[in-house]
């Protein structure tokens, strides 16, 4: 069962399948093709009767820094990140955007849909789209000093998997997504976003303890328990919420503030635009926009 991947590593370790996002030079940022490879690796594990549990992590010092948007954001003119017109001079089509992003959402959700339990092992950062990937896993174990959050909630993004609501409940999810703050693994565990946080030195061993414990359970038992619990959540309207979230994600990149962010990235560089977005001053102050009446 050997298969070559461009953006990740797949290996069998007894009854455990280990998937490693493998772009350490870019903090495992999500490249085109990576979501599809994640789904394919999960499929491989599900097809293998020897495998009982899947562990997902990132190579190097981070789990994932989110979508690799630097090139898109800094590239002048129209591109998939934000565009007033496409290459043929047609207006931005939200359904084209949705089709592209919802494919990624479904690929990330392969971790949720997997018949075999999935565990995310997070060190460094799991931010923006990287948090989407981690939170689709059944269990998340973080290093105490690792960071998780969705800063694009401030401008240029909406978490397409919407897993924040299902893991935290509405009020705590609002606390995270109405600020775009990052929190530590310790804070995430205290909040109930992730299962637990341990020291960096204990992270590998703790995840292995959980994986090996589950690996001793028959596959059919694991599958039945997971299907039952997943259905309880999915009946809360998860599919509809994810559709809306993915549509909103495209809109955020084409709002007045979203286009401002793109212009700042072109003029000052992506990292500087991110600092402006995530700083303490009002975002896109002075940008002309319609008045909302409530």
What pLDDT score was predicted for residue 1? 47
User: In which band, very low, low, confident or very high, does the pLDDT at 79 lie, cut at 50, 70 and 90?
Assistant: low
pLDDT digits (tens, 9 = 90+) for 151-202: 999 999 999 999 999 999 999 999 999 999 999 999 999 999 999 999 999 9
Give CA–CA dist 159/173, Å, rounded.
11
What integer is the mean pLDDT of 211-239? 98
Half-sphere exposure in the Cβ direction for 145 (13 Å, CA):
5
- The percent of residues in the chain predicted with pLDDT above 70, rounded, is 91
**249 in Cβ contact with 157 (< 8 Å):** yes
Residue 219 has pLDDT above 90, yes or no: yes
More confident residue, 97 or 292: 97
**Which pLDDT value is given to residue 92?**
87
Assess contact for 131 and 177: CB atoms under 8 A: no
Between CA 245 and CA 126, with CA 21 as vertex, the angle to 5 degrees is 50
**Where are the chain's structural domains?**
8-278
pLDDT of residue 43: 98
Task: Report whether CATH 3.90.226.10 matches the domain 8-278.
Answer: yes
Q: At what angle do helices 238-252 and 94-108 cross, to 10 degrees?
A: 130
288 in the Ramachandran plot: left (φ > 0), alpha (ψ -120 to 50) or beta? Answer: beta
Question: Over the stretch 84-125, which tens digit does the pLDDT of each residue have?
Answer: 545 556 788 999 999 999 999 999 999 999 999 999 999 999
Statement: the pTM of the whole predicted model exceeds 0.85: yes
Residue given tokens 């069962």 in the structure block = 1
Whether residue 111 contacts residue 136, with contact meaning beta carbons closer than 8 Å, is answered with: yes
Least confident among 22-31, 71-80, 157-166, 191-200: 71-80
- Strand order of the β-sheet with 182-184 is 125-127, 147-149, 182-184
Q: What would the mean pLDDT of 137-153 be, rounded to a whole number?
A: 98
Alpha-carbon gap, residue 109 to 99, rounded angstroms: 15
DSSP string, the chain: -----SSEEEEEETTEEEEEE--GGGTT-B-TTHHHHHHHHHHHHHH-TT--EEEEEESTT-SB--B--HHHHHS-S--SSS-SB-TTSPBP-HHHHHHHHHHHHHHHTHHHH-SS-EEEEE-SEEETHHHHHHHTSSEEEEETT-EEE-GGGTTT---TT-HHHHHH-HHHHHHHHTTT-EEEHHHHHHHTSSSEEE-HHHHHHHHHHHHHHHHTS-HHHHHHHHHHHHHHHHTTTHHHHHHHHHHHHHHHTTSHHHHHHHHHHHHH-HHHHHHHHHSSSPTTTT---PPP--
- Mean pLDDT lowest for which of 52-61, 67-76, 280-289? 67-76
């Amino acid at each position: 069962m050997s298969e070559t991947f461009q953006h990740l590593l797949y290996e069998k370790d007894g009854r455990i399948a280990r998937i490693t996002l493998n772009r350490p030079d870019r903090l495992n940022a999500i490249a085109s093709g990576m979501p599809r490879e994640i789904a394919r690796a999960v499929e491989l594990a599900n097809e293998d009767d020897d495998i009982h549990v899947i562990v997902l992590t990132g190579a190097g010092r981070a789990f994932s820094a989110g979508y690799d948007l630097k090139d898109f954001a800094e590239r002048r003119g129209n591109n998939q990140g934000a565009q007033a017109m496409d290459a043929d001079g047609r207006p931005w089509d939200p359904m084209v955007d949705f089709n592209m992003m919802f494919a990624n959402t479904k690929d990330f959700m392969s971790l949720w849909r997997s018949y075999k339990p999935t565990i995310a092992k997070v060190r460094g950062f799991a931010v923006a789209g990287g948090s989407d990937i981690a939170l689709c896993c059944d269990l998340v174990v973080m290093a105490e000093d690792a960071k998780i959050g969705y800063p694009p909630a401030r401008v240029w993004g909406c978490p397409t998997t919407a897993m924040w609501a299902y893991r935290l409940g509405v009020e705590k999810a609002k606390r995270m997504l109405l600020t775009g703050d990052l929190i530590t693994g310790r804070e995430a565990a205290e909040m109930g976003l992730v299962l637990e946080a341990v020291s960096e030195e204990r992270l590998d061993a703790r995840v292995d303890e959980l994986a090996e414990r589950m690996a001793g359970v028959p596959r059919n038992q694991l599958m039945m328990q997971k299907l039952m619990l997943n259905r309880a959540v999915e009946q809360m309207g998860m599919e509809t919420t994810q559709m809306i979230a993915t549509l909103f994600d495209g809109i955020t990149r084409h709002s007045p503030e979203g286009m401002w962010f793109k212009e700042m990235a072109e003029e000052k560089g992506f990292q500087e635009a991110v600092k402006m977005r995530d700083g303490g001053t009002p975002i896109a102050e002075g940008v002309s926009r319609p008045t909302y009446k409530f």
